[in-house]
Amino acid sequence: MTDPIFPYDIATVRADFPVLHQEHHPGTPLVFLDNAASSQKPAAVIDAMSTYYRQSHANVHRGIHKLSEEATAAYEGARKKVQRFIHAASPREIIFTRGTTESINLVAQTWGRATLGPGDVVLATVMEHHANIVPWQMLAQEKGFSLQYVPLLPDGTLNLEVYRRWLHELPVKLVTVMHGSNVLGTVNPVAHMARLAHEAGALILVDGAQSVPHMPVDVQALDCDFLAFSGHKMAAPTGVGVLYGKRALLEAMPPWMGGGDMISRVTLAGSTWNELPYKFEAGTPAIAEVIGLGVAVDYLSALGMENIHRQEQLITRYALERLSEIPGVTVYGQAEQRGAVAAFTVDGIHAHDVAQMLDADGIAVRAGHHCAMPLHDLLSLPATARASFYLYNTPAEVDALVTALYRAKQAFA
Task: Name the residues annotated as catalytic.
Answer: 371
**Strand ranges (E), 53-160:** 94-97, 121-125, 146-150
Span 50-69, contacts to another protein by CB under 8 A: 61-64, 66, 68-69
| Size of the residue set binding another protein (CB under 8 A) | 17
Of 149-157, 185-193, 262-270, 388-396: span binding another protein (CB under 8 A): 262-270
Whose Cβ is closer to another protein: residue 38's or residue 274's? 274
The DSSP call for residue 349 is B
16: helix, coil or strand? coil
Q: How far is the CB of 266 from another protein (least distance, A)?
A: 9
For the bound state, the minimum distance from the C-beta of residue 272 to another protein, rounded and expressed in Å, comes to: 9
Alpha-carbon distance of 44 to 67, in angstroms, equals 21
Torsional class of 295: left (φ above 0), alpha (ψ -120 to 50), beta (otherwise):
alpha
Q: Which of 250, 405 has the CB closer to another protein?
A: 250
Report CA dihedral (138, 142, 145, 149) to the nearest 10 degrees. Answer: 10
- Shorter beta-carbon distance to another protein: residue 63 or 216: 63
- Considering only residues 368-387, where is the footprint of another protein by CB under 8 A? none
Contact between 73 and another protein by CB under 8 A: the answer reads yes
Nearer of residues 52 and 390 to another protein, judged by Cβ: 52
Q: Determine the residue type at 380.
A: S
Residue 53 CA to residue 289 CA, distance in Å, equals 11
Exposure of 353 by Cβ count < 10 A (0-12 exposed, 13-18 middle, 19+ buried)? middle
Q: Which of residues 311-350 bind another protein (CB under 8 A)?
A: none
Output the smallest distance, CB 66 to another protein, in A: 8
Interface of this chain with another protein, residues 81 to 140, rule: CB under 8 A: 90, 92
Which residue lies nearer to another protein by CB, 61 or 195? 61
Binders of another protein in range 197-256 (CB under 8 A): none
Which lies closer to another protein via its Cβ, residue 248 or residue 373?
248
Which run of H or E residues covers position 221? helix 219-222
Residues 141, 264, 301, 324: which binds another protein (CB under 8 A)? Answer: 264
With a CB cutoff of 8 Å and minimum separation 6, the contacts of 413 are none
Query: What sign does the CA torsion over 344, 346, 350, 351 have?
Result: negative
Site string for another protein, 268-307 (x = CB under 8 A): ------xx--------------------------------
Spatial separation of the C-alpha atoms in residues 389 and 398, rounded to whole Å: 10
CA angle, 292 then 222 then 210, to 5°: 45
Q: Which of 191, 263, 303, 360 binds another protein (CB under 8 A)?
A: 263
Q: Applying CB under 8 A, which residues contact another protein? A: 61-64, 66, 68-69, 72-73, 76, 90, 92, 263-265, 274-275
